[in-house]
């Protein structure tokens, strides 16, 4: 495939009203309008979504794998930060 | 020595003066709409494995599957869908000649799609208002097909010198097949009640606006050739259609009733 000339886009799909957009994957497209259409065809054809975002992959600043330890390890031994001290009321979904 | 009349074999030449299959196939204007959808679906399917990029390949396949679904729904209204799709000969197909035109380059496929989807969107829109259940559902699909083709038309027409030239070539080459789209399909409602003049006006307006925005020229040549005047709707097709049909039908004809 010769699509390497086209920029890469990250696709975020919201599956239902009330949920947040979730990263679904990526694709190549010449511009934003086409990226949105390609995203529709690639990631929502089995009715996965009600809303789609596309973001140029270049615009995403990611944490570096080398900094993984200082970034994430300090939180690992602090289970008291998890809100485990209350009960989830019945009937609350998506929590 | 006299022999009893043999039962006519399938595929045997019909008696002189009768058109093969003329009596057995339904005479409904819906057949023309179903054939449009099936034939264009097959043409788009030919891009599988050949499209310029993976993303576009899926888009074309998606459109093809939408069209196939429309064709199946319409055929089921008329009879047995497999028989209608696979056992009719070329002359029994009522699709317009536009949809059977070979894929050509990507620009040719895009312009063909734009011409047809703009037509289908308006036609199904009218049929939906007249209360046809399939059209009500399918009009949203056709809207997306038109939108997709329109975006590509703009990008190819107003793109590079090369893409512009190819898009203009496609417009010029396919223009002669567009007049047939507006030849009224006779028959019962809802198709019989379609306002073809309004359809033509709406189509021309949309095509003119988009081609203009895409820096493409609307041809001034006639919208029909001397021998193409509404011919597809009467079962007269262009040369490449026979080959397409042979490829589409050969499996079913070689292995009748095969399933997996």
CA proximity to B115, closest of B180, B67, B59: B180
Chain B closest CA to A49's CA: distance in Å?
16
In a domain, B258, yes or no: no
Residues 6+ apart with CB under 8 A from B199: B119, B122, B123, B126, B182
Residue B11 lies in a domain: no
Domain assignment present for residue B136? The answer is yes
Residue B17 pLDDT more than 80?
Answer: no
- Condensed to tens digits (0 to 9), the pLDDT of residues B21-73 reads 444 788 899 999 999 999 999 999 999 999 988 999 999 999 999 999 999 99
Secondary structure class of B256 (helix, strand, coil): coil
Give the model's confidence band at B146: pLDDT under 50 very low, under 70 low, under 90 confident, else very high: very high
Q: What is the structure's pLDDT at A46?
A: 83
Interface of B with A in 55-114 (CB under 8 A): 55-56, 58-59, 62
Share above pLDDT 90 across residues of chain B, in percent, rounded to a whole number? 80
Helix, strand or coil for residue B159?
coil
**What is the reported pLDDT for B116?**
98
Which domains are delineated in chain A? 3-81 (3.10.20.520)
Contacts of range B180-185, beta carbons closer than 8 Å, 24 or more positions apart: B180/B96, B180/B97, B180/B98, B180/B224, B180/B228, B180/B229, B180/B230, B180/B231, B180/B232, B180/B233, B181/B96, B181/B98, B181/B115, B181/B116, B181/B119, B183/B230, B183/B233, B185/B29, B185/B32, B185/B33, B185/B233
Q: What is the pLDDT of residue B229?
A: 54
pLDDT of residue B5: 47
Cα-based distances in Å from B62 to B53, B120, B142, B155: 14, 16, 12, 20
Q: What would the pLDDT profile of A12-70 be if each residue is shown by its tens digit?
A: 999 888 889 999 999 999 999 999 999 999 999 888 889 999 999 999 998 888 888 88
- Say if CB B43 and CB B244 are below 8 A apart: yes
- Tokens linked to A39: 């995203």
Q: Which 8-state DSSP code applies to residue A67?
A: G
Closest Cα in chain B to A35:
B55
* Nearest by CB: B54 against A1, A30, A37: A1
User: 3-class SS at A14?
Assistant: strand
- H helix intervals, B79-186: 81-86, 97-100, 106-129, 133-157, 161-174
Tracing tokens 């995203």 back to the chain, one arrives at A39
Contacts of B55 in chain A (CB under 8 A): 3, 27-29, 38, 41-42
Beta bridge partners of A56: A9
* pLDDT (0 to 100) of residue B63: 96
Q: How many domains does one find in chain B?
A: 1
- pLDDT confidence tier of residue B2, bands split at 50, 70 and 90: very low
- Distance CA(B88)–CA(B85), nearest Å, equals 7
Q: Is B18 a residue whose pLDDT tops 90?
A: no
Q: What are phi and psi of A26, to 5 degrees?
A: -140, 170
Which of chain A's residues have a Cβ under 8 Å away from the Cβ of B156?
none
Residue B53, chain A, CB below 8 Å: the answer is yes
In a domain, B14, yes or no: no
Residues 115-154 of B with CB under 8 A from A: 147-148, 151
Is B151's CB within 8 Å of A37's CB?
yes
In a domain, B8, yes or no: no
For the entire predicted model, the pTM comes to: 0.85
* Three-state secondary-structure class, residue A10: strand
pLDDT at B152 over 50: yes
Q: Which pLDDT tens digit goes with each residue over B160-212? A: 999 999 999 999 999 999 999 999 998 888 999 999 999 999 999 999 999 99
* Vertex B139 angle, CA B138 and B142, to 5°: 90
C-beta separation of A48 from A13 below 8 A: yes
Provide the CATH number for the domain around residue B114. 1.20.1260.10
Instruction: Tell me which residue range forms the domain holding B33.
Output: 29-250
Look at residue B214 and tell me whether its pLDDT is greater than 80.
yes
Query: Chain B interface, mutation test: which of A37, A46, A54, most B Cβ atoms within 10 Å?
Result: A37
Q: What is the mean pLDDT of residues B220-244?
A: 83
């Amino acid at each position: 495939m010769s699509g390497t000339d086209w920029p890469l886009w990250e696709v975020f799909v919201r599956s239902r009203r009330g949920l947040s957009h979730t990263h679904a994957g990526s694709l190549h497209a010449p511009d934003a309008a086409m990226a949105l259409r390609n995203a529709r065809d690639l990631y929502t054809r089995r009715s996965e979504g009600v809303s789609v975002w596309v973001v140029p992959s270049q615009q995403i600043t990611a944490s570096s794998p080398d900094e993984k330890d200082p970034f994430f390890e300090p939180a690992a031994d602090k289970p008291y930060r998890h809100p485990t001290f209350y009960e989830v009321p019945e009937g609350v979904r998506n929590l | 020595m006299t022999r009893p009349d043999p039962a006519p074999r399938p595929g045997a030449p019909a008696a002189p003066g009768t058109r093969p299959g003329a009596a057995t196939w339904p005479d409904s204007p819906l057949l023309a709409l179903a054939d449009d959808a099936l034939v264009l679906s097959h043409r788009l399917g030919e891009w599988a494995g050949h499209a310029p990029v993976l993303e576009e390949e899926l888009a074309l396949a998606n459109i093809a599957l939408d069209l196939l679904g429309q064709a199946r729904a319409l055929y089921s209204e008329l009879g047995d869908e497999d028989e209608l799709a696979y056992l009719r000969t070329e002359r029994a197909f009522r699709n317009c000649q536009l949809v059977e035109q070979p894929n050509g380059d990507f620009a040719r496929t895009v312009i063909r799609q734009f011409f047809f989807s703009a037509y289908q969107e308006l036609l199904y829109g009218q049929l939906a208002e007249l209360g046809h259940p399939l059209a009500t559902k399918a009009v949203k699909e056709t809207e997306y097909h038109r939108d997709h083709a329109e975006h590509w038309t703009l990008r190819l027409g107003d793109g590079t010198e090369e893409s512009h030239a190819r898009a203009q070539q496609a417009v010029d080459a396919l223009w002669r097949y567009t007049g047939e789209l507006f030849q009224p399909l006779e028959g019962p409602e809802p198709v019989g009640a379609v306002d073809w003049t309004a359809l033509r006006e709406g189509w021309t307006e949309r095509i003119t606006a988009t081609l203009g925005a895409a820096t493409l020229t609307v041809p001034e040549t006639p919208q029909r050739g001397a021998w193409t005047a509404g011919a597809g709707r009467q079962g007269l097709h262009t040369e490449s259609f026979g080959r397409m049909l042979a490829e589409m039908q050969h499996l079913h004809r070689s292995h009748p009733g095969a399933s997996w």
